[in-house]
């Protein structure tokens, strides 16, 4: 651990260094341009809400939430543990109905018990996707097995979700990708049939979510060009080709 870099102190007035951009309270109501494939909203840290643009019939695309964390502390208790440097850009109540929630791994800053508890108690339960070893957590939250999908590396799972209010049926294929730890990156492939009257399905939309996956580990004083890289990225590219949208970690800890 002595080689691990020490982190600088964080200013108490982070609002001047990192202005908080409040997201709109009507998430999911954004009208995308006709040629948009993905509407994405970054909700801080690793959390994203994505939704394909609406179809010609006006039906929304499927909504997928990645690694949602809205608690003040990334800890098993809200009394101790590291606190957020900046507040969430919106309230959890502002998150619209979502069809699926994808968890990359079970560290507290990616899998938040309080947030999952609130989202899982909604009238329409989203489908939860997580890597191996996390089934007991979701069972303890009272989420039915029909809506929990625990997957190994390279496993694929296709689910069909129907949003009654919008009369949209969506086929989604989730693939857990190889990582050298008990966690996963994810590829989401989606085929949307926006309404029974649509003559043709919209094209497949492919999304990559990297979670905490890093390209290489570089310690102080090391020449990064001489260090090995994570081979999973090349393999992912060879298996899936390009993506319409990628959520890739950008951090000083590489």
More confident residue, 20 or 167: 20
Q: Which residue has the tokens 């996956």?
A: 213
pLDDT of the residue at 45: 84
Say if CB 153 and CB 177 are below 8 A apart. yes
Q: 46: helix, coil or strand?
A: coil
Higher pLDDT, 134 or 74: 134
Position 197 pLDDT exceeds 50:
no
pLDDT for res 144: 95
Q: Is the pLDDT of residue 202 over 60?
A: no
Backbone dihedral angles phi then psi of residue 73, each to the nearest 5 degrees? -125, 140
Mean pLDDT computed over 92-109: 88
192, part of any domain: yes
Q: Which has more confidence, 231 or 1? A: 231
Identify the domain containing residue 166 by its residue range.
18-247
Between 93 and 173, whose confidence is greater?
93
Residue 99 lies in a domain: yes
Q: N- to C-terminal Cα distance for the chain? A: 16
Residue 196 confidence (pLDDT) = 36
Across residues 164-189, what is the average pLDDT? 58
Residue 120 lies in a domain: yes
Residue 180 lies in a domain: yes
What pLDDT does 182 receive? Answer: 47
Q: What angle do CA 46, 31, 100 make, to 5 degrees?
A: 40
Specify if 233 maps to a domain: yes
Q: Is residue 13 part of a domain?
A: no
Has residue 10 been placed in a domain? Answer: no
Q: Is the pLDDT of residue 201 over 50?
A: no
Q: Is residue 215 part of a domain?
A: yes
**pLDDT category of residue 248 using cuts at 50, 70 and 90:** confident
Q: What is the pLDDT of residue 168?
A: 47
* Confidence at 125, pLDDT banded by 50, 70, 90: very high
Number of structural domains (the chain) is 1
Decide if pLDDT at 246 tops 70. yes
Is pTM, for the whole model, over 0.75? yes
8 Å CB contact between 231 and 250: no
Distance CA 228, CA 216 (A): 7
Between CA 32 and CA 29 the distance in angstroms is 9
Identify the CATH number of the domain in which residue 209 sits.
3.60.15
């Amino acid at each position: 651990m002595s080689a691990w870099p020490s982190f600088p102190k964080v200013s108490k007035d982070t609002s001047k260094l990192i202005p908080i951009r409040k997201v709109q309270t009507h998430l999911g109501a954004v009208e995308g341009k006709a040629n948009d494939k993905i509407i994405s909203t970054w909700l801080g840290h690793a959390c994203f809400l994505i939704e394909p643009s609406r179809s010609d019939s006006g039906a929304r695309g499927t909504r997928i939430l990645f690694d949602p964390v809205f608690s003040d502390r990334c800890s098993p208790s809200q009394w101790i543990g590291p606190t957020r440097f900046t507040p969430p850009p919106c309230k959890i109540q502002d998150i619209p109905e979502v069809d699926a929630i994808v968890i990359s791994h079970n560290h507290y800053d990616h899998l938040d018990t309080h947030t999952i508890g609130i989202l899982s108690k909604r009238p329409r339960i989203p489908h939860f996707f997580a890597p191996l070893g996390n089934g007991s957590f979701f069972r303890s939250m009272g989420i039915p097995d029909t809506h929990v999908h625990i997957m190994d590396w390279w496993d694929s799972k296709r689910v069909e979700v129907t949003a009654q209010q919008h009369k949209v049926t969506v086929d989604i294929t989730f693939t857990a990708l190889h990582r050298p730890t008990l966690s996963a990156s994810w590829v989401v492939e989606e085929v949307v049939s926006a309404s029974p009257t649509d003559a043709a399905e919209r094209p497949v939309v492919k999304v990559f979510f990297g979670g905490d996956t890093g390209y290489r580990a570089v310690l102080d004083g090391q020449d990064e060009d001489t260090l090995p890289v994570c081979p999973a990225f090349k393999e992912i590219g060879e298996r899936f080709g390009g993506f319409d949208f990628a959520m890739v970690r950008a951090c000083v800890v590489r």
